[in-house]
Structure 1
Amino acid sequence: MAADPLLLAPRPSLPPASPPSLGRVFEACAEAMLVLDPWSGRLAEANAAAGRLLGYDRAVLRDMPMGSLHPGQMPALIVFTDAVLSQGRFRTRSLTPRHATGAELSVEYSGAVLPPAEDGRGETRPRLLLTLTDLQDLRRRSIDSDADAYMRGGIAEWQKVERFFRDVERENQLILRAAGEGIYGVNAEGKTTFVNPAAERMLGWAAEELVGKDMHTMVHHSHANGAHYHNHDCPIYMAFRDGAVHKVDTEVFWRRDGKPFWVEYTSTPIRDRGLVVGAVIVFRDISHRREADEKLRAALAEVETLQKRLELENAYLQEEIRIEGNHRGIIGNSAAVQGILRQVELVAPTDATVLVTGESGTGKELIARAIHDASTRSSRPLIRVNCAAIPRELFESEFFGHVKGAFTGALRDRVGRFELADGGTLFLDEVGEIPLELQGKLLRVLQEGQFERVGEERTRNVDVRLIAATNRDLRQEVRAGRFREDLFFRLNVVPVESVPLRERREDIPLLAAHFLRGMNRKMNTASLRLSEADVRRMAQYDWPGNVRELENVIERAAILARNGRLQVVLPDAGPAASPGPAPAGSGEAGPALLTEHD
């Protein structure tokens, strides 16, 4: 069979072949005629009668895509052109071109292959001559002819009728052969009346082996699980018993070799003078689609299993965090840590503003998180803003948001951090870095609970609990004129100091042991241990970087470990500052101090 010519995309770089010289007969013919290039799908020529029938100017018809005359009829066009190319001549009435007004025309297409014409590359391509017969006009002429024939009588007219039905039958057979779906018919007794080539290929039976046989017994006798499929339950046979169309999305047909394959099919009853005389069945092999669906279902089941597993693992990790930590991660035996815990317990249930001060690396953010988690706002988010990382010109947009077009680069609306923290807690880390000109707006939000987005006049209300942190001396900043005094007093409602590590040396073994447990889990080993000498050396070090520095030292020691022995390397910090008595050994399973720190 020839390739589907109308499916081939036009090639713009290839000029259309010159239309054949059709002469005066083509121009003067009373029948509408078109010349079609099947390889580009475009019309190469049209005579005057075609312009009158279709309602288009001939210049418009030339180079018009054939598909434009037949919207939604591409499959039928392909079947027709393929039949013309393969047989040399072919007729069909299944195509209904659209008139220029949009009305559908009832015509008969007659196609013939013209001698090849040369294209712009020196290649020759065959063209099709299409003759369009107006069926309404044909019926009028036929009625007149029938009346005349009736008056004259004679066997010749009966022969014409017979030839007509033979042509129709041949036309239908070509359509059945061109169809990609399997098609077969059964009569009212369930006997097969015809089978198209696609059905032969899928079923593995030749048509002559199936025609006249009980089709259900041949290809539909069992369910997918092998259980018997009684023909009284068969939707195909029900179509000619109840006269209704039956569509089935998934069942199996059985091939000649005894192997099943998944199909979807429609069984449509055939009526003759109001009586159901059989059914026509159209089916499609959906084995690949069903296999893909099964793989998708299996993948989704696997995803669901993994999701449940991750939920369980998450619950386990959360429980471990809860067991390892106390008071939401802030634990320790030193008096300084116990004092912080008491402050957290006192201030957390309130909405008071808290100012956490202390050196970098002492765990100021963890204190803020502990206050939030112990508060009535714990179900709402804790939004963290690192004020030291925000460009000066973007502070206002970052805090309060902006509307589209408020400034260059504002391509869409942006929600600020205050809005995100509504109902929860806003943690301003390094609050001393806020520009002086923005401090007044921050003070207004804290006092009134109102703000405006940049570029917007609408005032928005917000309910936020504020926790601020800084490693600067804000009193000194106020005296230097770099920080507003009224804002300092508004932030410093409840001050909490995060004590440096050198002032709570007794907690160093607990922290080191905690970080080492984390490294053991991360590196999937349980052999790394701290020695007494390592603990003494760490206790005598001043830790200018505080807990963060200690964590880095433990991580580096674990990475450099050889044969299970840690390589603890401390920077040269000079003489130790009053280490006091040696702390407890790290071998105890004690709690960690600041498991997170800023």
Structure 2
Amino acid sequence: MPDFALAHHMLRDLRSASLLIDPFADRLVFANPAAATLLGWPLEDLLQQRASRLWRHALGEMTVLSEEVLQRGRAWSDELGVSAAGGEVLALELAASRVEGDDGPLLGLLLHERRQLDGLRGLAEAQRYQRQGFVKWQGVERVFREIERENQLILGAAGEGIYGVNRDGVTTFVNPAAERLLGWQAEDLIGHKIHDLIHHHHADGSTYHGHNCPIYAAFRDGEVHQVDDEVFWCKDGGSIPVAYTSTPLRDNGELIGAVVVFRDISDRKEAELRLRQALAEVQELQQRLELENAYLQEEIRGEFAHHSLVGRSEAIQQIVRQIELVAPTSANVLITGESGTGKELIARAIHDSSARRQRPLIRVNCAAVPRELFESEFFGHAKGAFTGALTDRVGRFELADGGTLFLDEVAEIPLELQSKLLRVLQEQQFERVGENHTRQVSVRVIAATNRDLRQAVRDGSFREDLYFRLNVFPVESVPLRQRRDDVPLLAQHFIGRVCRKLNRPEPSLRLADIQRLQAYPWPGNIRELENMIERAVIISAGGRLRIDLPSTGAPTVTASSSEPLEEGGGIYTDNEQRQRERSNLLAALRACHGKVFGRDGAASLLGVKPTTLRSRLERFGIEPQAFRRARGTPRSAGP
């Protein structure tokens, strides 16, 4: 019989499990009956298996061991188990040697079940004790049994998970609470590196490297490591949040491992999450209420804090009828008209007559919002969305939820934002800047403008679809010169309001004053009338209101003249009136050297808002910069 065949014959009768593997062909060349019995396969079926089938759970480690055998001639491992026929991974000690075959090198493996070896070692240890003395051996055995029994009782009664690891990170014991919390059985963990099984990734899915593990650090630096918020991975692939303490173990001063005590903190995490959510909701509600309060206080102090429409002319009666028609609906309204005609007053009347009157009317002056802040002003922003966004901010749409949003000077909205505004009008949904969460609102929009939006659509500066969405119900706020019958009522209304504010008696309004007020064209409309009346009340004396309305410009008030000045100029056409208004604007700019804003600016001189003056200058094509080259020597601003 050849030597190789003899070796086969000897291995077949060997009581230790033996395998011969061709690592390059991934096949079993030989297996003895002991190996078949150990692995639970019939011998013929076992030889049909591919070698990788037996180590499918640890192919990488088996490949490393095979390369070591081929290079060094032998290798040993007590960590490489083998997959039995039923899928169970058997814990083995494996001795491997290089065997030269006819077609190349082979791997010869001797497999020993670790439980059997442990028993044999224990038996050998016992025999040594027996040789030292039977009585001594019995005493030692009894002591160890008692210690083990007490330890098992303590570990079993503990409600927190407990496991131990040696200095190689291999699990040495696991208590029942750890099995219950993690779903692993003790035999699944003991003998394996615990980090690779339950601590391999962070909660966000990123890899948790073993050299950063606080559990392992305990038996490296000898310090107790406490971690308050990490995750352990369960057998079913899920994870649980845990807090744990890793305490080093020493034997005669030498670090031999660590014991880990951990607990499931899922309930605590859920409570913290609910608390954070509740706190965020409270803070957001508080911010919203503070903004609403500040806004409403501002509106109360505003120049249009009263909610009544004053007048009896056919023009004002037509507006009242339109308000009565549209207020009960949810239709969007577009109010057009010159500056100072009371467009916001109409919007307030619509809101106050609607079902939304219990919620606020939020006003946005689109001409006063910087271009880069439009989106944040309308929709709000999340903390950190851009430089300077230090906290979350509620936008005007969210603030107006359930109420009405009044977009004053809507034609000033940048073209790039108009599409987003259109989406909110259509879907009642938006996202804050820097946030992916879609918010639902119920907002009615009332828009106002002193410009011709149809011309803006033709010019390409305003979206046609947005125009039609806003112009569901148009309302025209007519200028004061077209409702002269209302001038006496408005003047008396303003006199009463100013006197109540100043705590003064009301001066009388004479018929001659009324006639002059009605004859004046009021280029600044109701706002100009209100400002003029307030100035007149302030300087009035003797219970009489003396008003001068010169034909050359804005009205002036004097307390010294007892008789009115002569009315001049007669009646002007609309074109003549526009030329008079343009000349008045040019004169104001020359006097202020092109300055529009501020106490010494043209807006203050004319008694109008800076945004209103800017709109008028744009309408006439006047550039204030033309008057800023040098004091007293402006460039030409056109005919």
Alignment TM class, shorter chain as reference: 0.3 to 0.5
Query: TM-score, with normalisation over the residues of structure 2?
Result: 0.39
**Bigger Rg, structure 1 or 2:** 2
User: Which one scores higher on RCO, CA 8 angstroms, separation ≥ 6?
Assistant: 1
